[in-house]
Amino acid sequence: MSGHSKWSTIKHKKSQTDARRGKLFAKLIKQVEVAAREGGGDPDSNPTLRTMYQKARDNSVPLDTIERAIKRGTGELEGVNYVPVSYEAYAPAGVALYIECLTDNRNRTGSDVRSTLTRAGGSLAQPGSVSWQFERKGLLNVKATVDEDELMVVAIDTGAEDIVKSEEAFRVITEATELHLVRQALEDAGIPFDSADVVMQPTTTVVISDVATAKQIVQLMDALDNLDDVQEVYANFDISDELLDSLA
């Protein structure tokens, strides 16, 4: 499991606290609302909304809260007009960052991201200088206790590109457009999984072994993730599981 994937697992565990969970709910609701605004309120005909809807349900967002977000997105209810904006940046040691936001004020969001990067030893990058190091993929984290042969048959036959095994989980990688098909196949086969998301997967990684640098990177990632307008932070660092566990 790459360092960034391990960090995502740690972040998921931290989100179980009330304060983190409230922030996570707010971010997921924004994602549902924007998906409905951009592609319509029917999950069956709007694959982005279908993914965001299911992600919200997976994280126990109440159904009525999701439905209200969809109605705000389609204009049936009054709401704030959030727009997607992304930033490319560098963390210490040249680690590439791709930061996805939803905002109703670009100036505020840009200022918050820039100041957070500066305080933690990072810097904004020119558009296009970082994004080429990532590709959009579907990712399912499947429980490590499942039968590997059954998982491979079901996932690969449905269109999964790769399955990566670690001590904690299987990572099933798909094309972003195929995520819902593989997810449905796993559900139909009774194969349990912890999450299913469309992510920015790094194509190259930067190995970090220095403790001080690793700590600085993780603190920067955490600070960015805590910003209200930031939805996801992707990075191409590779820090050992043991080192990340010690920092967590």
239 in Cβ contact with 208 (< 8 Å): yes
Average pLDDT over residues 92-104: 95
**Where does the pLDDT of residue 3 fall: very low under 50, low under 70, confident under 90, or very high at 90 and above?**
very low
| Sequence-ordered strand ranges (E) for 144-183 | 162-165, 169-175
Residue that the structure tokens 């389609």 belong to: 74
5 in Cβ contact with 29 (< 8 Å): no
Query: Exposed, middle or buried by CB within 10 Å (0-12, 13-18, 19+), for 218?
Result: buried
More confident residue, 12 or 111: 111
pLDDT tens digits for range 118-171? 999 999 999 999 999 999 999 998 988 899 999 999 999 998 999 988 777 899
pLDDT at 24 (0 to 100): 84
pLDDT at 161 (0 to 100): 94
More confident residue, 116 or 9: 116
Q: What is the pTM of this model?
A: 0.84
pLDDT tens digits for range 221-234? 989 998 999 999 99
Residues 6+ apart with CB under 8 A from 5: 171
C-alpha R_g of the chain: 18
